[in-house]
Structure 1
Amino acid sequence: MGAFDLLRIANTSLGMHQTWLDALANNIANVNTATRTSEKAFQGQMVIAGARPDGGVEVAGVAYSDPIGRVVNDPDSPLADADGNVRLPEVDLASQMSQLVMAQRGFQASVQVTKNAQDTYTAALQIGR
């Protein structure tokens, strides 16, 4: 492993975790987005991470939750059908919040690896002075 491989790998992790955080933020923001029962529900995004051949990590894809969602009785909603039902997304807020903590910790760990590598490289450069 070369001297700068650590920085490259940490950088790929930062990118993947940022994408994961963005998807989670979008899901959390839309967890209560109601639609008419005749329309599709908001589709939550689930980021799929994959290993890169060079040791890094990448976004291998994005999976989406079921557009059918769940039908909930909310007769006060302006979007309610004749039976008083609306369609909500199939996004579990508790799960999204748990994943948010994991994604934040992963991002923070990648930042710390980058800072430690920078400090190490700076110290190594100071030796020659």
Structure 2
Amino acid sequence: MDPLFASLKVAGSGLAAQSTRLRVVSENLANALSSGKTAGADPYRRKTVTFNSELDRASGVALVRTSAVGVDRSPFNVEYDPGNPAADSNGNVTLPNVNMIVEMSDMREANRAYEADLQTMKQTRDLLSMTIDLLKG
């Protein structure tokens, strides 16, 4: 396969993977302060994304794919808040296992990778356009 088209395919797979990662990080951030609806109910559990390298047999290039969206099994956070409707008999509320700092750093990393893939696609498009212009003249 032509290297320019292969680079488009690789960058496109990266865009799709990082888009999924950004969606999952956004879900985690949106639910970071939620609690269970009733006392003793489990709150939102942090989601994680796993990537996998996959060979595209038609083009012969390695692509990145989202292999799974799983859940983080780390323990929930517990906070004393007796006025909360989700508090147990001791006044403790179980909160999600989402760390805002980790999520923000994941978001920043995914955003930068997305931008890099997008820049690769723009550069490839420019090279293809220049090649077509050379062939016309």
Name the TM tier (shorter chain): over 0.9
User: TM-score normalized by structure 2?
Assistant: 0.87
Q: CA deviation at 1:67?
A: 7.9
Q: CA deviation at 1:77?
A: 1.2
Q: Mind listing any 5+ residue stretches in structure 2 that lack a counterpart?
A: 57-61
Q: CA deviation at 1:47?
A: 0.5
Q: Name 1:75's counterpart in structure 2.
A: 82
Q: Name 2:52's counterpart in structure 1.
A: 50
Task: Measure the CA separation in 1 of the matches of 2:7 and 2:73.
Answer: 38
Residue among 28, 37, 40 paired with 1:38: 40
SS of structure 1 residue aligned to 2:55:
coil
Q: CA deviation at 1:115?
A: 0.3
SS of structure 1 residue aligned to 2:97:
coil
User: TM-score normalized by structure 1?
Assistant: 0.93
Task: Measure the CA separation in 1 of the matches of 2:19 and 2:94.
Answer: 29
Cα contact 2:25–2:107 (8 A) shared by 1: yes
SS of structure 1 residue aligned to 2:43:
coil
Task: Measure the CA separation in 2 of the matches of 1:118 and 1:9.
Answer: 14
Runs of 4+ in 1 over 2 A off after TM superposition: none
Q: Is residue 2:135 matched to residue 1:128?
A: yes
Cα contact 2:51–2:66 (8 A) shared by 1: yes
Q: Mind listing any 5+ residue stretches in structure 1 that lack a counterpart?
A: none
Q: CA deviation at 1:82?
A: 2.1
Task: Measure the CA separation in 2 of the matches of 1:104 and 1:15.
Answer: 12
Cα contact 1:43–1:65 (8 A) shared by 2: yes
Sequence identity (%): 26
Residue among 88, 103, 124 paired with 1:117: 124
Q: How big is the alpha-carbon RMSD for the aligned residues of Structure 1 and Structure 2? A: 1.5
Task: Measure the CA separation in 1 of the matches of 2:48 and 2:74.
Answer: 14
